[in-house]
Structure 1
Amino acid sequence: MHGTLAITPLTAGPIYQFVDVLGESDETETAPRVAVQLTINLTFAEILGRLLFSSGPILMMEELDSADAEEYVRVRLWFALTDTDLIAADDFAEKAMDIYTGRRASRLLPFALRLGPIITHMFGVTTPAAPARTGA
């Protein structure tokens, strides 16, 4: 499962000063930065893997159960996309699907099962059926 780049070129936007690489205001960043947009095509597994295993801020179950769940997912995925290389992302996707489908035992399974429907709702991607939940 490899992420693929769209065949369209990068889009360069305006030049900004006093912002960090993520666009946040930072008076110590004096070098001009250009806003660049890139289209990346992701599968369910690639999104789930980045959300489960990328470094940086982590999602919490309480956030997934909140009214702002989609915003939490969107921000976390945005960070994960900037932070995760494609080789690691491929490994994350495989590991995430092993957990999601029950091929690998993990304490992350309930979290992954809660996250799955949010991903499919937000992004319209399809997913294999999650394992039936047994016992509570």
Structure 2
Amino acid sequence: MKSNLNIIDLISEKHIVLRREVEDRWEAIEDEEISHTEALFLAKIEMGKISIAEVARQANISRQAMYKCAKKLETRGYLKFVIDEGNNKYTNLTEKGEEYCRRSKELKISIEKEISDVLGDENIRMLKELLNKRWIK
């Protein structure tokens, strides 16, 4: 990685490397492939009730593309569509979706442990603290 990159590009480059590592390791241990967008969508659902439109906005893709992703995940048994009291449609994880999220977290914890072995526990703690701060007013 180039040492003359600014902080935004450094974080972006590291994110790409880490996402690719997670995806490659997932493919090595699982038969069913999960795309980056599908993984993001499942993770967002696990975090709490969220609309397809909001996930699309956060992922910077069209609502139509995210809806297509959601329908594909529904067909594959990872999520189901639910209508709430206000007649709003949203998604819930199925048992298969919850299992994917659990195993995905385990994989990420394993990778984080490897990173911690290189950077040190204190640096990981500090990095997490810095990443959780609001940087821009």
TM-score under structure 1 length normalisation = 0.28
Q: Normalized per residue, which structure has more helix? A: 2
Relative CO higher for 1 or 2, CA cutoff 8 Å, sep ≥ 6?
1
Q: TM-score with structure 2 length normalisation?
A: 0.27
